[in-house]
């Protein structure tokens, strides 16, 4: 499938259909809408500290979601409908309950010790980015069993892997092969820009990290050439673009600048910069293209907006910071909560589908789902956008020929025919 013809639908299995059996039964919904790629958010066994991105077993399905047999039946029936299945692959870190880390933290002479990053005095990587500064003061987390510290970029319960150790690379190619054997067509490489750490740097988007991604792509091309790698890498436009390499890294890379620009254009009184981003979307290697989300399971990052526009956006949409995960950096809000006017959202999607790239739809965005109502304010405000799929709202949308659902369905059909609208 041509990368720029993909329409990728992102979902949590449990939030959308309870389990894999239920998701298999819902495949007609995606076919009717015109979806040709499903991206499953983490389905692995996990303590769910970070929405499943804290993995304890990369070669299994979380028990409440089903079994490997259920997964096989799902991918089989999806393939029969010409729907590719992508899965999330958290590469940067595991859960602190993963057997690798349980062994590594138990002793300084453990065979798995060098699979993670350790320090006696916390002086290494002092300039590295702390992704969640509101949740921890330092990336170095105390390990009482060996009286030292392990490195964690994200949650304290997510120790970073040591990608300088070739055994880690080999472990992940084994994981890739496992899921390829079970019908997976693509992998979203989570937090891929953080893989390698170096002193006197922010340890983001380093040359050595790109060398790892090139090596992964080379392995994929040699073992299953039809497999797609999708990079999740933040930062500037140039930083995101670098994950295409020379066509030898990822075939798809998220463009979060477009996400922010599209929504900002709809919120602010002046057009921000969607057009400036659009003019660059063709500047990719052959066989590659941008993946263009409007919203996803994280907060809408506004870091690429000029400060004056970011402040104005936050003042209009979230003046008290109720939906900000990382203060003043973005909002954890579904699109319909940001833009209640359906006609405004229709215009936004018309613009999105006119752009060159693979469109990414977050579950429920087509039906106008809003933030879920929560009894207590969550520490992780991203939970606001991770509610259960509203099937009643979906049915109402399907029955209304003037709904956003039908507008998006027509846009998808036009995209598949290469007709710009």
Active-site positions?
190, 232
DSSP bridge pairs for 84:
37
Give the Cα-Cα-Cα angle 229, 23, 398 (nearest 5 degrees): 100
Residue 21 tokens, joined: 């059996």
Q: How far apart are CA 384 and CA 235, in angstroms?
A: 24
Going from the C-alpha of 100 to that of each of 31, 105, 259, the distances in angstroms are: 40, 9, 36
Distance separating alpha carbons of residues 383 and 50, to the nearest angstrom: 10
| Rounded CA separation 388/34 (Å) | 22
What is d(CA 231, CA 290) in angstroms, rounded to the nearest whole number? 10
Tell me how far apart the alpha carbons of residues 86 and 180 are, in angstroms, rounded to a whole number.
10
CA–CA distance, 246 with 288 (Å, rounded to integer): 10
State whether the Cα torsion 161-164-170-173 is positive or negative: positive
Give the integer Cα–Cα distance in Å for 95 and 172.
Answer: 15
84 exposure class (CB count in 10 Å sphere: 0-12, 13-18, 19+): buried
CA–CA distance, 175 with 169 (Å, rounded to integer): 10
H or E element that contains 253 = strand 252-254
CA distance 340 to 342: 6
Tokens of 79: 């393939």
Q: Which residues pair with 229 in a beta bridge?
A: 187
Could you write out the three-class secondary structure of 114-136?
HHECEECCCCCCCCCCCCCCCCC
- Which residue intervals of 273-372 are DSSP H helices? 274-278, 307-317, 335-338, 342-354
- Output the six-digit token pair for 86: 């992508």
Q: State the residue for tokens 């304010």.
A: 377
* CA atoms lying within 13 Å on the CB side of residue 300: 29
Backbone angles phi, psi at 369, to 5 degrees: -60, 140
């Amino acid at each position: 499938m041509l990368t720029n013809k993909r329409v990728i639908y992102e979902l949590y299995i449990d939030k959308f259909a309870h389990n894999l059996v239920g998701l298999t039964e819902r495949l007609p919904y995606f076919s009717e809408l015109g979806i040709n790629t499903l991206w499953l958010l983490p389905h692995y066994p996990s303590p769910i500290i970070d929405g499943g991105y804290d993995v304890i077993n990369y070669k299994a399905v979380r028990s409440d979601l089903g079994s490997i047999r259920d997964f096989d039946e799902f991918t089989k029936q999806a393939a029969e409908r010409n729907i590719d299945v992508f899965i999330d692959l958290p590469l940067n870190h595991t859960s602190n309950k993963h057997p690798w880390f349980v062994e590594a933290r138990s002793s300084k002479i453990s065979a798995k010790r060098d699979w993670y990053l350790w320090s006696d005095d916390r002086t290494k990587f002092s300039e590295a980015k702390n992704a969640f500064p509101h949740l921890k003061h330092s990336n170095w987390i105390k390990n009482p069993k060996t009286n030292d510290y392990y490195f964690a970029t994200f949650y304290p319960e997510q120790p970073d892997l040591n990608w300088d150790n070739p055994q880690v690379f080999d472990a992940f190619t084994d994981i890739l092969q496992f899921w390829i054997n079970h019908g997976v067509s693509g992998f979203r490489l989570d937090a891929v820009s953080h893989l390698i750490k170096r002193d006197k740097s922010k340890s983001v988007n380093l040359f050595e990290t790109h060398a790892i991604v090139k090596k992964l792509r080379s392995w994929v091309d040699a073992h299953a050439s039809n497999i797609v790698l999708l990079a999740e890498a933040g930062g500037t436009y140039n930083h995101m673009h670098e994950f295409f390499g020379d066509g030898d890294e990822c075939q798809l890379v998220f463009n979060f600048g477009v996400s922010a620009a599209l929504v900002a254009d709809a919120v602010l009184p002046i057009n921000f910069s969607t057009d400036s981003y659009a003019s660059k979307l063709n500047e990719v290697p052959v066989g590659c293209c941008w993946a263009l989300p409007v919203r996803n399971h994280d907060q809408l990052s506004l870091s690429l907006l000029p400060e004056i526009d970011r402040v104005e956006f936050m003042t209009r949409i979230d003046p008290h910071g109720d939906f900000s995960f990382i203060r003043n950096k973005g909002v954890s809000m579904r699109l319909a909560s940001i833009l209640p006017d359906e006609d405004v959202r229709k215009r936004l999607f018309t613009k999105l589908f006119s752009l060159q790239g693979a469109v990414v739809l977050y579950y429920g965005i087509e039906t106008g789902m809003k933030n879920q109502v929560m009894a207590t304010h969550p520490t992780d405000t991203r939970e606001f956008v991770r509610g259960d799929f509203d099937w009643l709202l979906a049915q109402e949308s399907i029955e209304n020929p003037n709904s956003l659902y039908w507008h998006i369905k027509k846009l998808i059909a036009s995209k598949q025919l290469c007709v710009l609208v």
